């Protein structure tokens, strides 16, 4: 067997999937068989979750919206038994601790629905708790995205709920990203889906993966006016820091999800329900892309999904500490579909390492 050394695994295809396809050269993303631009304008999160789970071979209840509502209610009922998990400082730590306490039933479809419902409930309860507010009980009959927003903010005006739903669809799945890979590694050992989702939450927390949108908003606040963008960004790069929301491991052009979210923010602004940050965000993106072109002429570094995630979730009314947990609430659909797919078609994921101890150290 020929061994290939590929740190970062960029050049390795680790599995086959029917769930999503990322074409990094052309900037095209297909989720559950449909281009993200069409899908996000047409289908809601519940429909997309159903399509992902079916594509992974799971039997999905005919009334999935009702089943997800019941899962939210069950998660809320479980909250008094979670100890101090939801008191964690960081929202992803809270999710990791709370989701870890869900039971794995042995029924992959039931566990996928339970985890997806629970993440929304736990994230919302955590966000309220850190403001000293009581958690709001879910409404099992409400649409998933609208209920999430209401559990966080106490209300869910239609334009905002629609924009949030579009976000959840847009980031529901994305090929072999780090958190999905983490989930598939755990699932490949035959471990349970709850353990796999907990691993995925841990991976998503990192700033190189799902942790960027909060810092993007901090950046927009710091820049404050479009004319200040170039100087501010240049100082960041001079200090050796990366520009959050720019660059991607796979895309060599602008991330197609950036355009979908940018359009959704435009719609919110036209409905008078946004924060007016879009013009500033566009100016910062342009200045960042220009600077990165100058400094890395051989490497295309354009806006990724996190850039406009920050602006959209802020406009929807979510606090910035909740951005990454909200990403988890959406990606839970993709994670659990990949877990099922891995269990059905995959093989134990177990790469090799190259021994590179300092010279003179005895081999073990």
Whole-angstrom distance, CA of residue 295 vs CA of residue 297? 6
**Applying CB under 6 A, does 204 fall inside the site for ligand COA?**
no
Long-range contacts at 38-45 (CB < 8 A, ≥ 24 apart): 39/169, 40/166, 40/169, 40/170, 40/260, 40/264, 41/166, 43/169, 44/143, 44/144, 44/145, 44/165, 44/169, 45/144, 45/145, 45/165, 45/168, 45/169, 45/172, 45/330, 45/333
* Per-residue binder mask for ligand COA (CB under 6 A), 166-195, x = binder: ------------------------------
In the bound state with ligand COA, the residue whose beta carbon lies nearer, of 270 and 293, is: 293
Distance CA 287, CA 281 (A): 10
Nearer to ligand COA, 188 or 324 (CB): 324
Catalytic residue among 262, 285, 306, 341: 306
Q: Which residues contact 357 (CB under 8 A, 6 or more apart)?
A: 363
CB of 178 to ligand COA, least distance (A): 9
Q: At what angle do helices 45-55 and 323-345 cross, to 10 degrees?
A: 20
**Stretch binding ligand COA (CB under 6 A), from 71-79, 139-147, 241-249, 272-280:** 241-249
Q: Is 309 or 342 the residue whose CB approaches ligand COA more closely?
A: 309
Closest CB to ligand COA: residue number: 247
* Residue 209 annotated among the catalytic residues of the structure: no
Q: Which stretch binds ligand COA (CB under 6 A): 75-83, 135-143, 153-161, 237-245?
A: 237-245
Closer residue to ligand COA in complex, CB, 25/59 = 25
212 binds ligand COA (CB under 6 A): yes
What is the DSSP secondary structure assignment for residue 80, as one 8-state letter? Answer: G
Q: Kindly indicate which of the ranges 75-83, 95-103, 147-155, 240-248 contains the residues binding ligand COA, using the contact rule CB under 6 A.
A: 240-248
Asked whether position 208 contacts ligand COA by CB under 6 A, the answer is yes
CB of 206 to ligand COA, least distance (A): 9
Rounded Cα gap, residues 363 and 357, in angstroms: 8
Task: State the nearest-atom distance from the C-beta of 304 to ligand COA, in Å.
Answer: 4
**What is the spatial order of strands in the sheet that 34-35 belongs to?**
20-23, 28-31, 34-35
> Cβ distance 198 to 259 under 8 Å?
no
Q: Pick the binder of ligand COA from 305, 318, 329, 333 (CB under 6 A).
A: 305
Distance (Å, whole) CA 325 – CA 145: 14
**CA 305 from centre of chain:** 9
Window 244 to 303, contacts with ligand COA (CB under 6 A)? 244-249, 296, 299, 301
Among the options 248, 262, 338, 341, which is catalytic?
248
d(CA 36, CA 257): 7
In the bound state with ligand COA, the residue whose beta carbon lies nearer, of 144 and 248, is 248
Nearer residue to ligand COA within complex by CB, 124 or 219: 219
Burial tier of 299 (Cβ tally within 10 Å: 0-12, 13-18, 19+): exposed
Of the candidates 262, 306, 314, 341, which one interacts with ligand COA according to CB under 6 A? 306
CB of 243 to ligand COA, least distance (A): 4
270 or 299: whose CB is closer to ligand COA? 299
Angle in degrees, CA 138, 142, 145, rounded to 5: 85
Binding-residue total with ligand COA (CB under 6 A)? 16
Count of other CB atoms within 10 angstroms of residue 290? 13
Radius of gyration of the chain (CA): 20
Q: How many other β-carbons are positioned within 10 Å of the β-carbon of residue 193?
A: 27
C-beta of 6: minimal distance to ligand COA in Å?
A: 13
- Cβ nearer to ligand COA, comparing 64 with 311: 311
Could you confirm whether 59 is annotated as catalytic? no
In the three-class reduction of DSSP (H, G, I as helix; E, B as strand; rest coil), residue 217 is classed as helix
Q: Does 98 sit near ligand COA (CB under 6 A)? A: no
Among residues 95, 109, 243, 332, which is the contact residue for ligand COA, using CB under 6 A? 243
Which stretches of the chain bind ligand COA, using CB under 6 A?
208, 212, 242-249, 296, 299, 301, 304-306
Residues marked as catalytic: 248, 306
């Amino acid at each position: 067997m020929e061994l290939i050394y590929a740190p970062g695994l960029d050049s390795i295809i680790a599995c086959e999937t029917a769930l999503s396809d990322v074409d990094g050269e052309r900037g095209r993303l297909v989720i559950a068989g449909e281009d993200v631009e069409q899908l996000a304008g047409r289908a809601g999160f519940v429909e997309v979750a159903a399509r992902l789970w079916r594509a992974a071979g799971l039997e999905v209840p005919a009334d999935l919206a009702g089943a997800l509502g019941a899962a939210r209610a069950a998660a809320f009922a479980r909250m008094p038994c979670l100890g101090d998990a939801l008191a964690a400082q960081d929202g992803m730590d809270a999710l990791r601790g709370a989701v870890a306490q869900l039971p794995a039933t042995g029924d992959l479809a039931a566990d996928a629905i339970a985890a997806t419902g629970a993440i929304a409930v736990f994230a919302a309860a955590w966000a309220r708790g850190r403001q000293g507010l009581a958690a709001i009980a879910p409404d099992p009959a409400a649409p998933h995205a609208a209920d999430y927003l209401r559990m966080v903010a106490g209300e869910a005006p239609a334009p905002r709920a629609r924009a949030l739903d579009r976000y959840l669809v847009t980031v529901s799945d994305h090929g072999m990203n780090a958190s999905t890979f983490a989930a598939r590694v755990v699932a490949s050992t035959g471990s349970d889906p709850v353990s796999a989702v907990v691993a995925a939450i841990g991976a998503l927390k990192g700033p190189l993966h799902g942790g960027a949108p909060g810092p993007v908003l901090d950046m927009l606040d710091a820049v404050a006016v479009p004319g200040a963008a170039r100087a501010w960004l240049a100082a960041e790069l001079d200090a050796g820091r990366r520009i959050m929301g720019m660059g991607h491991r796979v895309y060599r052009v602008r991330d197609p999800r950036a355009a979908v979210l940018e359009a959704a923010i435009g719609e919110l602004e036209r409905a008078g329900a946004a924060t007016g940050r879009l013009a500033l965000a566009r100016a910062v993106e342009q200045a960042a892309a220009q600077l990165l072109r100058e400094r890395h002429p051989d490497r295309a570094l354009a806006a990724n999904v996190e850039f406009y995630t920050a602006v959209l979730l802020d406009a929807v009314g979510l606090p910035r500490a909740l951005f990454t947990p909200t990403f988890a609430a959406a990606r839970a659909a993709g994670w659990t579909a990949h877990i099922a797919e891995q269990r059905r078609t995959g093989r134990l994921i177990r790469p090799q390492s190259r021994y590179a101890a300092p010279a003179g150290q005895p081999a073990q």
